[in-house]
Amino acid sequence: MILLSLKFTVRHESNHAHKHKLQQKFIIVSINMKALILSGGKGTRLRPITYTGAKQLVPVANKPILWYGIEGIVEAGITDIGIIISPETGKEVQELTGNGEKFGGNITYILQNQPAGLAHAVKIAQPFLGDSPFIMYLGDNIIESQLGQFVDTFKQKQLDALILLRKVSNPSAFGVAKVDNNGRVLELVEKPKIPPSNLALVGVYLFSKKIHNAVNKIKPSARGELEITDAIQYLIDQQISGVDNEIFVEASTLEGWWLDTGKKDDLLSANQIILDTRITNSINGEIDSQSQIIGRVKIGKNTKLINTSVRGPVIIGDNCYLENCFIGPYSSIADNVTLIDVDIEHSVILQGAKIIEINQRIVDSLLGRRAKLINALQRPKALRFMIGDDSQIELT
C-alpha cells in the first residue's frame, strides 16, 4: 500500500465576512503497489547455457536467479507481480515459477514478443500496472539489501521515480548517474567514456504512474530500443526545467553487494556470496564412514556420498551420487548429479550433469543440465569449463 498526501487550500468566510487563515487538508488514498520483473532477453553472455533455457533460471546456490527477486519483492510487502517473458523461454519460466503461490504472491505473465528495451517492457505491461506505483526489477540481478527500505522511502517521499545507485570501480561499463550534493539526480549517461561519477545504475527502479507518459514521449535509441534511462531522464528534465514542479526523482545509494549475473564469472561470484551468507548446515543424504564433511554444507534428500570429502560452504541437491570426490568451497551441485573421481571447487553444476574420472582439479566452471564430462588423462594442472545443456566432452 502507498499513502499519498494531497494538499489543497480552502478559504472560509462567515456570514459576517470574517476571513480565516488558509488551511491545509490531507486526504489519504490507498493504492496497491505492484511489481514488474523482467525475465525476457536472450542471455547471449551466458551462452551456450542459455541456448536451451532462460538466463534468469540458471541457479545460484541451487535456486533460480529469478526467484531471489520474487522473494525479495514479496518480503517488501508487494504480492501482485507481473513477469515479462519472451517467446523463446517464457513457457519454461512459467512452468518452473508457477502462479506465485509458493512465494506468497500472485504472478501474471506478460509476453514481450521481441527485446525492444526496458521501457518497452513497461509500455506493454501498462494494462497490468494500471495507475499503480510499481517496482521494476531486472530478473538476473541480486542485491544484498532488503527492498523494503527503498519501498518505504519511495512511499514516504511520494516520489515519481527512485533509482538505486552503487559505487563501482569501472563506471564506463554501466549506466551512470550525475547527482548533486543533495542527492538529486541531474543526468543519466549510458556507458560514458568519461563518467560523471562512479555511481552505476542498479537494475531496480521504483516508479509512479507518471513513468507511462515519459515512456510514450521518448524515441528508440541508436540500438533500436526504448531505454528506461531515457524515460527517467525525461522526468528529470521536466523537474529541473520547472515544466512540471510536481515531478520528484531521487536516488538511493546501495551499500551492500549487487550482482548482475549475466556472465559466467558474475554468476560464480553470486554463487560464492550466496553460499557465504545464506547457507546453513543441513545433512539429509546418506554419508558413509569414509566421507568427511567440513564447514557449512547442505546436502539434499536421497543423495549418497561414498569416500567423499566436502569442504563448505557447499550445497548439494537431491538424488545425487558422489564417489571418491573432493568438493571444495563455493560449489553448488544441483539435483540428480553424478560425480565419480572428481576434484572440484568454486563451480556450479546444473541438474542431471555427470562428471566421471577427471584426474585434474576443475575450478571456476559452469556445467549445463545433463552435460557429461568423462575420461581425462593427467595433463594440465587445472581445467576450466563453460558447458551447455546436453553437451558431452571426452578428454583423451
For 258-296, write each residue's pLDDT tens digit: 887 667 788 898 899 999 998 999 999 999 999 999 999
Residue 159, all three cell numbers = 516520489
CA end-to-end span of the chain: 62
Could you tell me which of 116, 109, 56 has the C-alpha nearest to residue 84? 109
Q: E strand or H helix at 81, and its extent?
A: strand 80-85
Give the per-residue pLDDT at 391: 63
Helical packing angle, 65-75 and 90-97, nearest 10°: 50
- Tell whether the model's pLDDT for residue 19 goes beyond 70: no
- Give the model's confidence band at 154: pLDDT under 50 very low, under 70 low, under 90 confident, else very high: very high
pLDDT at 377: 56
pLDDT computed for residue 289 by the predictor: 96
Cα–Cα distance, 166 to 82 (Å, whole number) = 26
- Give which of 292, 316, 312, 291 is closest to 302, Cα–Cα: 316
- Phi–psi pair at 285, nearest 5 degrees: -90, -170
Widest CA span of the chain, in angstroms?
104
Q: Which three cell numbers stand for residue 319?
A: 538424488
- pLDDT tens for 309-364 read 999 999 999 999 999 999 999 999 999 999 999 999 999 999 999 999 887 899 99
Digit-coded pLDDT (tens) for 46-84: 444 444 456 788 899 999 999 999 999 999 999 999 999
The region that residue 269 occupies, defined by phi over 0 for left and psi between -120 and 50 for alpha, beta otherwise, is alpha
13 pLDDT tier (thresholds 50, 70, 90): very low
The mean per-residue pLDDT over the stretch 159-164 comes to 95
Instruction: Identify the pLDDT of residue 345.
Output: 95
The secondary structure element, H or E, covering residue 71 is: helix 65-75
pLDDT more than 90, % of the chain: 56
Mean pLDDT is lowest, of 218-232, 240-254, 289-303, for 240-254
* Residue 25 three-state SS: strand
What number is the average pLDDT over the span 366-380? 75
Phi, psi of 233 (to 5 degrees): -60, -35
Cβ neighbour number for residue 52 with a 10 Å cutoff:
16
Q: Which residues, other chains included, contact 17 with Cβ-Cβ below 8 Å and sequence gap of 6+? A: none
pLDDT, residue 390, reads 62
Query: Is the confidence at residue 9, as pLDDT, over 70?
Result: no
Q: Which CATH number fits domain 32-270: 3.10.129.10, 3.20.20.450, 3.40.50.1700, 3.90.550.10?
A: 3.90.550.10
What is residue 256's predicted lDDT score, i.e. its pLDDT? 82
Q: Are 294 and 311 in contact (CB under 8 A)?
A: yes
**Pairing verdict, β 304-306 and 321-323:** parallel
| Distance (Å, whole) CA 389 – CA 372 | 9
Q: In the predicted model, is pLDDT for residue 243 greater than 90?
A: no
Of the candidate ranges 114-128, 213-227, 232-246, 346-360, the one whose mean pLDDT is the lowest: 232-246
- Within a 13 Å sphere around the CA of 78, how many CA atoms are in the beta-carbon half? 33
Average pLDDT over residues 96-114: 96
CATH number of the domain at 279-394, please?
2.160.10.10
- Of 87, 90, 40, 50, nearest in space to 389 by CA: 50
pLDDT for 381 equals 62
The answer to whether 250 touches 185, Cβ cutoff 8 Å, is yes
Residue labelled with grid coordinates 515512456: 215
Question: What are the sequence ranges of the domains in the chain?
Answer: 32-270, 279-394
